[in-house]
């Protein structure tokens, strides 16, 4: 709700919010494509039996590829190193080009212009490094 209020106040018109599981996005009309998909501090689903629920699993990568316009990108941030390593492996296996990869965003050259989420502020204040990467489908 807070994010929706901020978007409304800003006057931005090209943002949509969806309440529900990410799988609902498969039902969206793919005529309109996204420039960027931001995946910020998603549930890491730490048990191996739940890996298919991770938003960076190959099943979701197929969905993101359909929703992104040519040269569109995924910007992924997480505090969870295990999820980040898993994601890098999934991106590589899927043939995704990775740029601006860092295991410590706030102490990297990629921090300029970074918009911090509430989770990011919380984890950073506790000294937890933030992992970040930009991904491009080839």
Check: CB of residue 131 under 8 Å from CB of residue 44: no
What CA–CA distances, in Å, run from 34 to 62, 111, 114, 138? 14, 23, 20, 16
43 has catalytic annotation = yes
Please give the Cα distance from 138 to 99 (Å, whole number). Answer: 13
Q: Give the DSSP letter of residue 110.
A: T
d(CA 53, CA 50): 6
Among 43, 70, 79, 104, the one annotated catalytic? 43
- Short-list 81, 120, 74, CA closest to 98: 74
Active-site residue list? 43
């Amino acid at each position: 709700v807070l994010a929706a209020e901020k978007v409304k106040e800003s006057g931005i018109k090209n943002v949509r919010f969806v309440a529900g599981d990410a799988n609902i996005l498969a039902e969206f009309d793919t005529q309109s494509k996204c420039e960027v998909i931001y995946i910020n501090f998603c549930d890491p689903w730490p048990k191996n039996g739940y890996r298919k629920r991770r938003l960076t699993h190959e099943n979701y990568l197929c969905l993101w590829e359909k929703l992104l316009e040519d040269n569109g990108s995924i910007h992924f941030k997480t505090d969870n190193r295990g999820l980040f390593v898993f994601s890098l492996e999934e991106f590589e296996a899927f043939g995704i080009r990775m740029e601006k990869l860092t295991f410590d965003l706030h102490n990297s050259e990629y921090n300029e212009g970074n918009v911090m989420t509430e989770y990011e502020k919380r984890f950073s204040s506790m000294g937890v490094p933030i992992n970040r990467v930009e991904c491009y489908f080839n």
